[in-house]
Amino acid sequence: MSTQDLRVGIIGVGMMGADHAERVAHRIAGARLVAVSDPDTARAGALAARYDGARMIADPLALVADDDVDAVIIASPGFVHEEQVLACIANGKFAMCEKPLTMDSESSLRVLRAERDAGRALIQVGFMRRFDPQYAQLQQLLASGQLGRTLLLHNTHRNKTVPNPEFRSEMIVRDSLVHEVDVARFMFGEEITTIQVLSPAPTSHACEGVIDPQVAVFTMAGGGIVTNEVFVNCQVGYEVRCEAVSERGTAIAGRPQTGLYTTLAEGGEGYWGGLADPDFTVRFNRAYDLEIQAWADASRRGSVVGATSWDGYAATAVCAAGMESLASGAPVAVALADREILQ
Binding site for ligand NAD (CB under 6 A): 11-17, 37-40, 43, 60, 75-78, 80, 98-99, 126, 128, 175, 280
Edge-to-edge strands, sheet with 94-97 = 55-56, 31-37, 6-11, 71-74, 94-97, 123-125
Rounded to a whole number of angstroms, the minimum distance from the CB of residue 266 to ligand NAD is 32
The sign of the torsion formed by the CA atoms of 130, 131, 137, 140 equals positive
Shortest Cβ distance from residue 281 to ligand NAD (Å)? 8
Closest to ligand NAD by CB, 75 vs 211, is 75
Q: Which residue is nearest to ligand NAD (CB)?
A: 14
Local structure of residue 309 (DSSP, 8 states): H
**Gyration radius of the chain's alpha carbons:** 20
Pick between residue 280 and residue 295 the one whose CB is nearest to ligand NAD.
280
Nearer to ligand NAD, 137 or 164 (CB): 164
CA distance 203 to 177: 18
Cis preceding-peptide flag for 213 (omega within 30 of 0): yes
- Least Å distance, CB 340 to ligand NAD, is 29
> Could you tell me the smallest distance in angstroms from the CB atom of residue 314 to ligand NAD?
17
CA atoms within 13 A on the CB side of 154: 6
110 or 116, CB closer to ligand NAD? 110
Nearer to ligand NAD, 224 or 306 (CB): 306
**DSSP 8-class letter at 94:** E
What is the C-alpha to C-alpha distance for residues 91 and 309, in angstroms, rounded to an integer?
17
76, 79, 98, 249, 274 from 127: Cα distances, Å: 15, 17, 7, 26, 27
For residues 80 and 336, which CB has a smaller minimum distance to ligand NAD in the complex?
A: 80
Give the residue with the Cβ less far from ligand NAD, 42 or 265: 42
**What's the min distance (Å) between Cβ of 16 and ligand NAD?**
3
What is the chain's percent helix, strand, coil content, to nearest 5? 40, 25, 35
CB 86 within 8 A of CB 114: yes
Half-sphere exposure of 17 (CA within 13 A, CB side): 26
Shortest distance, position 101 Cβ to ligand NAD, whole Å: 9
